[in-house]
């Protein structure tokens, strides 16, 4: 919604080449460029004249190409380039001229999507600070505005499901779903987004095995290629793995990053979305079938070190730590930090998404992740933040005992079978889905609970992971360059 508003203000409907001067970091706050991408624009982050000409001169000459160039006023952009682009100075006062800027800027974590919806209905001059503050309280943050926003976004979300084809489409849908789930939970509104999970399930069963061939400058696409991606894009980096952090969770934690410029994308966790499989794949650059111990985490550090060595790092350049106090020696250029807080909250949760909202909110207010990130940036590391998997609310079908191979004590969303006599009967009894074994050991069968189901005590409401919902599989992929 905010992105659509920016798109219209920049007259993108009538121009194929746009230069947005964004000095207030609105792209980092809202990722409005996604709306431009949805309208066929290629998004370019301007760095310097020479690089831009080498990579995009031909595209500028071709009138069919649609380019959105994001820059800051301090960047040197030659006059001949500016003449070929529609220049728009993006700022809060230009977007919301009837409101008081001091009041807006004083609102930390102001939801610009909700502001846009309420602002479109406003025809009064509210440039006095008190007037704007009353407008924010009475018209923007009220339940009526939030409900109207969610209704509109949910309708758009369902419509997008009918046209979603590529993994990029699903990244965008995951972002929208997380926003709806977060606001719906915060304002105690009942928006059931499980239809998205069912559509995503069908996509995964058909297309997940093809994702290893995809290439993207913004993301490794699969977490199993994260190490390769970071090595290609950074000379010195640390990967912070927030075990179990979904996009829902990140949307809350991100509020503590208000003074950090970061690029946000997404990646697919490995399936089954268990810690032992997906996190080891993330740190080893391997698929599940290549892991030494796919169902145990005892080889995790060994897998990471072996991967780093294969990329040319020496032992004193490799670091693997746990916890927010993690520190690396001055020689380290490839570091990994494991944080278990979110996953611990998931498995101890008795209040569903509302409980996660409150618990993650406390974690965000503590600024532990943001402070650690700043520390690594000050030491010259590029910082990447991602997760091995997310989490989703489920209702227990009843505990399954004595069948197959239990893969992870805390995760009861899937089972592994070998030469099991009555697989079909088991699938029918519990409504299980047979996973097509993408990237897995083909000697086993993998059965996964359907959307909203788990092998917990019958009727028990839990937060868990291990399945193939969009909440569990599409995770945040955050990049923060040391230069920023």
Mean pLDDT of 384-391: 98
pLDDT at 61: 80
Answer whether residue 407 shows pLDDT above 50. Answer: no
pLDDT of residue 404 exceeding 60: no
Rounded CA separation 422/331 (Å): 55
pLDDT at 62: 79
What's the pLDDT at 483?
Answer: 66
For residue 475, which of 189, 178, 259, 141 has the smallest C-alpha distance? Answer: 178
Instruction: Give the span between the Cα atoms of 286 and 302, in whole angstroms.
Output: 13
Give the model confidence (pLDDT) of 103-143 as tens digits. 999 998 899 999 999 999 999 999 999 999 999 999 999 99
The pLDDT value recorded for residue 35 is: 86
**Angle at CA 339, nearest 5°, toward 334 and 342?**
145
Please, what is the Cα angle at 467 between 466 and 473, to 5 degrees?
90
- Using CA atoms, how far apart are residues 410 and 419, in angstroms rounded to an integer? 24
Other Cβ atoms closer than 10 A to 182: 20
Domain extents for the chain? 2-139, 147-206, 215-391+470-480, 393-463
Enumerate residues 6+ apart whose C-beta is below 8 A from 250: 178, 242, 387, 476, 478
Q: pLDDT tens for residues 224-238?
A: 999 999 999 999 999
Instruction: Give which of 140, 164, 188, 197 is closest to 413, Cα–Cα.
Output: 197
- Model-wide pTM > 0.75: yes
At 484 the pLDDT is 52
Residue 31 Cα to chain centre, angstroms: 11
Select from 224, 210, 228, 227 the least CA-distant residue to 170: 210
474 has which bridge partners?
268
Task: Report how far residue 329's alpha carbon sits from residue 316's, in angstroms, rounded to the nearest whole number.
Answer: 8
Query: Mind listing the pLDDT tens digit for each residue in 177-221?
Result: 999 999 999 999 988 999 999 999 999 999 999 999 999 989 999
Residue 403 confidence (pLDDT): 59
Return d(Cα 435, Cα 206) in angstroms, integer: 10
pLDDT for 80 equals: 86
What is residue 62's three-state secondary structure? coil
Distance in angstroms (rounded) separating the CA atoms of residues 420 and 444: 10
Residues 50 and 84: their CA atoms lie apart, in Å, by 16
Q: Note the pLDDT of residue 52.
A: 87
- Per-residue pLDDT band for 294 (boundaries 50, 70, 90) equals very high
Side-by-side strand order, sheet with 334-339: 263-268, 474-480, 382-386, 237-242, 334-339, 318-322
pLDDT score at 409: 42
CA distance 478 to 218: 10
% of the chain surpassing 70 pLDDT: 97
Model confidence pLDDT, tens digit, residues 16-36:
889 999 999 898 788 888 888
pLDDT greater than 50 at residue 408: no
- Assign residue 46 a region (left: φ > 0; alpha: ψ between -120 and 50; beta: otherwise): beta
Nearest-angstrom CA–CA distance, 346 and 335: 26
Rounded to a whole number of angstroms, the distance between the first and last alpha carbons of the chain is 28
The values of phi and psi at residue 439, to 5°, are 65, 5
Query: H-helix or E-strand containing 462?
Result: strand 461-464
Closest C-alpha among 390, 143, 344, 108 to residue 249: 390
With the C-alpha atoms ordered 131, 136, 140, 142, is the resulting torsion angle positive or negative? Answer: negative
CA distance 19 to 371: 33
User: Where is mean pLDDT largest: 196-200, 295-299, 410-414?
Assistant: 196-200
What integer best gives the mean pLDDT of the chain? 93
3-state secondary structure (DSSP) of residue 69: strand
Tens digit of pLDDT for each residue in 415-438? 888 887 688 888 999 999 999 999
Q: Which residues contact 159 (CB under 8 A, 6 or more apart)?
A: none
52-68 CB burial, b ≥16 within 10 A, e <16? beeebeeebeeeeebbb
Residue, of 338 and 3, whose pLDDT is higher:
338
**Predicted pLDDT of residue 208:** 98
- pLDDT band at 405; cut points 50, 70, 90: low
Selection from 356, 355, 324, 351 nearest residue 253 by Cα: 356
Query: 215-391+470-480 in CATH: which number?
Result: 3.40.720.10
> Does residue 63 have a pLDDT over 90?
no
For Cα atoms 480, 215, 211, give the angle at the middle one, nearest 5 degrees.
Answer: 110
Q: What is the mean pLDDT of residues 267-282?
A: 97
Q: Within 13 A of 460's CA, how many CA atoms are on the CB side?
A: 17
Give me the pLDDT at residue 411, please.
63
Q: Among 54, 46, 55, 43, which residue's Cα sits nearest to residue 17?
A: 43
pLDDT at 406 over 50: no
According to DSSP, the β-strands at 445-448 and 414-417 are: antiparallel
Q: What pLDDT, in 10s, does the model give residues 252-263?
A: 999 999 888 888
How far is it, in rounded angstroms, from Cα 161 to Cα 195?
9
- Do 21 and 131 touch, CB atoms closer than 8 A? no
Taking the C-alpha atoms of residue 16 and residue 211, their distance in angstroms, rounded to an integer, is: 30
Sign of CA dihedral 94, 97, 100, 103: negative
Per the CB < 8 A criterion, the answer to whether 353 and 181 are in contact is yes
Compute the average pLDDT of residues 40-61: 87
From CA 251, how far away is CA 264, in angstroms rounded?
11
């Amino acid at each position: 919604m905010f992105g659509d508003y920016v798109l219209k203000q920049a007259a993108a409907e009538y121009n194929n080449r746009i230069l947005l001067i964004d000095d207030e970091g609105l792209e980092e706050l809202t990722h409005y460029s996604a709306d431009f991408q949805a309208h066929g624009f290629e998004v370019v982050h301007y760095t310097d004249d020479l690089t831009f000409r080498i990579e995009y001169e031909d595209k500028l000459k071709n009138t069919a190409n649609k380019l959105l160039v994001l820059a800051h006023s301090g960047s040197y952009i030659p006059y001949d380039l500016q003449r070929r682009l529609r220049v728009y100075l993006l700022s809060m006062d230009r977007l919301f001229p009837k409101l008081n800027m001091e009041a807006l800027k004083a609102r930390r974590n102001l939801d610009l999507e909700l502001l846009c919806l309420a602002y479109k209905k406003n025809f009064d001059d509210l440039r006095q600070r008190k007037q704007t503050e009353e407008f924010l309280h009475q018209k923007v943050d009220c339940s009526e505005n939030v409900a109207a926003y969610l209704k509109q976004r949910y309708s758009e979300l369902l419509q997008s499901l009918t046209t979603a084809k590529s993994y990029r489409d699903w990244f965008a849908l995951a972002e929208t779903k997380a926003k709806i789930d977060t606001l719906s939970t915060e304002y105690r509104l009942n928006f059931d987004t499980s239809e998205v999970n069912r559509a995503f399930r069908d996509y995964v069963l058909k297309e997940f095995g093809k994702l290893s061939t995809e290439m993207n400058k913004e993301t490794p696409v699969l977490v199993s290629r994260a190490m390769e991606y970071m090595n290609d894009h950074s000379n010195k980096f640390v990967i912070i793995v927030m075990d179990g952090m979904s996009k829902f969770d990140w949307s809350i934690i991100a509020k503590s990053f208000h003074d950090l410029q970061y690029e946000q994308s997404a990646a697919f966790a490995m399936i089954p979305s268990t810690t032992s499989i997906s996190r080891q794949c993330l740190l080893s650059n391997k698929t599940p079938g290549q892991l030494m111990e796919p169902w145990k985490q005892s080889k995790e550090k060994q897998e990471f070190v072996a991967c780093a060595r294969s990329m040319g790092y020496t032992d004193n350049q490799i670091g693997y730590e746990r916890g927010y106090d993690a520190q690396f020696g001055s020689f380290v250029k490839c570091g990994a930090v494991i944080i278990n807080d979110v996953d611990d909250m998931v498995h101890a949760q008795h209040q569903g998404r509302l409980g996660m909202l409150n618990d993650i909110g406390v974690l965000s207010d503590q600024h532990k992740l943001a402070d650690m990130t700043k520390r690594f940036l000050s030491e010259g590391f590029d910082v990447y933040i991602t997760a091995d998997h997310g989490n989703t609310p489920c209702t227990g079908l009843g505990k399954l005992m004595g069948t197959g191979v239990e893969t992870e004590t805390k995760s009861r969303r899937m089972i592994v079978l070998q030469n099991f006599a009555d697989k079909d009967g088991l699938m029918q009894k519990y409504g299980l889905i047979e996973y097509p074994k993408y990237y897995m050991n083909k000697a086993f069968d993998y059965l996964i609970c359907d959307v909203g189901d788990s092998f917990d005590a019958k009727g028990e409401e839990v937060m868990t992971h291990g399945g193939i919902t969009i909440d569990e599989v599409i995770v945040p992929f955050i990049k923060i360059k040391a230069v920023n």
